[in-house]
Amino acid sequence: MIKANYPIDKFNEIQTPFYYYDLDVLRKTLVEIKSETKKTDFHVHYAMKANVNPSVLAVIKDAGLGADCVSGGEVQAAIDAGISPSKIVFAGVGKADWEINLGLYNDIFCFNVESVPELEVINELASAKGKIAHVALRINPNVSAHTHHYITTGLSENKFGINMSDLDHLIDLFPTLPNVKLIGIHFHIGSQITDLTSFQGLCVRVNELQEYFLSHSVKLEHINVGGGLGINYEHPNHFPIPDFQAYFNIFRDHLQLQHNQTLHFELGRAVVAQCGSLISRVLYVKQGSSKKFAILDAGFTDLIRPALYQAYHHIENLSSDLAVEPYDVVGPICESADTFAKGFVMNQTKRGDLIALRSAGAYGEIMASQYNLRKLPKAYTSDELAH
Ligand SMILES: *Cc1c(COP(=O)(O)O)cnc(C)c1O
């Protein structure tokens, strides 16, 4: 079995469970993104909610990416990490006044507005500061992302964005709101999208909307197509870097930009998922009536994706080369949902073995909780453990 090339000697000195970030994988991923986006005027804003580990953020900032934020906390974290406010976009259906004020105070690049009342509040708060807020309309394009229903966001039944049927009203509203300036339109149709035709569908819808705005004499400076590019959870060793070329080519080939328009992306998972693993130890191997349980010291408080989205994570026993057999890999938390995988085939396992739950760099550490009064997991990077 091919396994991650991890510093197991170092791991043995560290209290499990913990996150491990291979920053070389992250750097290679970013090089790939940059080489694909520099061909055309494409701008990537890293979706902060995927992972805000300071070491990870520093590498992303050094690569020159902007930030996509969905809370005031994330706006602040992006600024604290040294990301220029001129590269920060701020989305979210429920922005509180203090969060809007934080964005206004820092003159962020753009508020991605999700409703009429939010637009009115931004106008009011910007007026109080004597500023003009730059906004993009987050439009719900009613495009299916063919992904898990919990991470689908671009259907008219979802809570996100402005429905296309409200656009006439909004265009009439803008002249009455002097402290907001419409500079773009924004979309985000979902996450872990591996069927690239979903993005092609989005391009078709964007082209139609461009015609609509043109016919209403509205000039848009930028289009933001959000994030959502999926990664290969089944084979992280074979496909450590998503196919960014195919992804960006979809937009190059199918989205018609107007003169001087820039195209923006908000990638989260595709940037950070493959560089992270949750490292855990086997506490017990328990023989059930018909199967074996590998009981780990990591649980859904450390990595909730399997419990929340029925997500798959590839699991490797880093300590064993013995013949493989199936295990239900579970955590210690008092909930049946605390199961990482059922019938997972891995090398014969015993108490004390080190286990890697792969592709855990996105929506992993950041979603950790203290349920059952457990400790939050710590995190280490390949740079730290190299010396
Ligand atoms: C979560 C989110 C993203 C990033 O999604 P990924 O699937 O991680 O790429 C981008 N934009 C918005 C508005 C989001 O909410």
CA of 141 to the centre of ligand 1 (A): 15
What mean pLDDT, rounded, does the chain reach?
A: 95
Residue with tokens 């409703």: 115
d(CA 22, CA 30): 13
Can you give the pLDDT at residue 146?
Answer: 67
Q: Which atom of ligand 1 is nearest to the CA of 70?
A: 15
Amino acid occupying residue 370: Q
Take residue 37 and report the two structure tokens written for it: 């986006």
Q: Place 148 in a pLDDT band, splitting at 50, 70 and 90.
A: low
Q: Which atom of ligand 1 is nearest to the CA of 112?
A: 13
Higher-confidence residue: 160 or 92?
Answer: 92
Evaluate if residue 268 carries a pLDDT over 70: yes
CA of 302 to the centre of ligand 1 (A): 21
Evaluate if residue 144 carries a pLDDT over 90: no
Q: Place 56 in a pLDDT band, splitting at 50, 70 and 90.
A: very high
Task: Select the CATH number that applies to the domain covering 24-272 from these four: 3.10.129.10, 3.20.20.10, 3.40.190.10, 3.30.465.10.
Answer: 3.20.20.10
Q: Residue 130 contacts by C-beta under 8 Å, 6 or more apart in sequence?
A: none
Evaluate if residue 387 carries a pLDDT over 70: no
The 8-class DSSP code of residue 236 comes to T
* Total-model pTM: 0.96
Q: Which atom of ligand 1 is nearest to the CA of 267?
A: 9
Domain spanning 8-18+274-385: CATH 2.120.10.30: no
Under 8 Å between Cβ of 247 and 196: yes
Can you give the pLDDT at residue 98?
Answer: 98
Q: Residue 242: which of 361, 80, 67, 81 has the closest Cα?
A: 361
SS3 204: helix
d(CA 276, CA 22): 6
Q: Place 142 in a pLDDT band, splitting at 50, 70 and 90.
A: confident
Ligand 1, residues 196, 266, 367: which to mutate, most atoms within 8 A of Cβ? 266
Take residue 59 and report the two structure tokens written for it: 């590498």
Domain residue spans of the chain: 8-18+274-385, 24-272
Can you give the pLDDT at residue 39?
Answer: 86
Amino acid occupying residue 26: L
Can you give the pLDDT at residue 161?
Answer: 86
269-320: per-residue pLDDT in tens? 999 999 999 999 999 999 999 999 999 999 999 999 999 999 999 999 999 9
Query: CA separation (Å) from 176 to 129, 169, 238?
Result: 18, 12, 55
Mean pLDDT is lowest, of 128-132, 148-152, 317-321, 383-387, for 148-152
Under 8 Å between Cβ of 317 and 35: no
CA of 379 to the centre of ligand 1 (A): 23
d(CA 327, CA 304): 19
Q: Residue 191 contacts by C-beta under 8 Å, 6 or more apart in sequence?
A: 145, 147, 151, 153, 227, 228, 230, 268, 269
CA of 381 to the centre of ligand 1 (A): 24
In what helix (H) or strand (E) does residue 47 lie, and over which residues does it extend?
strand 42-47
Q: Which atom of ligand 1 is nearest to the CA of 50?
A: 8
Q: What is the mean pLDDT of residues 216-233?
A: 97
Q: Residue 117 contacts by C-beta under 8 Å, 6 or more apart in sequence?
A: none
CA of 282 to the centre of ligand 1 (A): 33
Q: Which atom of ligand 1 is nearest to the CA of 186?
A: 13
328-358: per-residue pLDDT in tens? 999 999 988 999 999 999 999 999 999 999 9
Q: Where are the alpha helices (DSSP H) in the chain?
A: 8-11, 23-37, 54-62, 72-80, 97-105, 116-128, 167-173, 197-215, 244-254, 269-272, 305-309, 382-385
Can you give the pLDDT at residue 42?
Answer: 97
Evaluate if residue 1 carries a pLDDT over 70: yes
Can you give the pLDDT at residue 155?
Answer: 63
Query: CA separation (Å) from 223 to 91, 202, 219, 255, 266?
Result: 14, 12, 11, 10, 11
The 8-class DSSP code of residue 259 comes to T
Can you give the pLDDT at residue 149?
Answer: 65
**Which residues partner with 113 through β-bridges?**
137
151-190: per-residue pLDDT in tens? 666 666 677 789 888 999 999 999 999 999 999 999 999 9
Ligand 1, residues 70, 148, 272: which to mutate, most atoms within 8 A of Cβ? 70
Can you give the pLDDT at residue 41?
Answer: 84
**Cα 117 to chain centroid, rounded:** 27
CA of 272 to the centre of ligand 1 (A): 12
Can you give the pLDDT at residue 69?
Answer: 98
Q: Place 45 in a pLDDT band, splitting at 50, 70 and 90.
A: very high
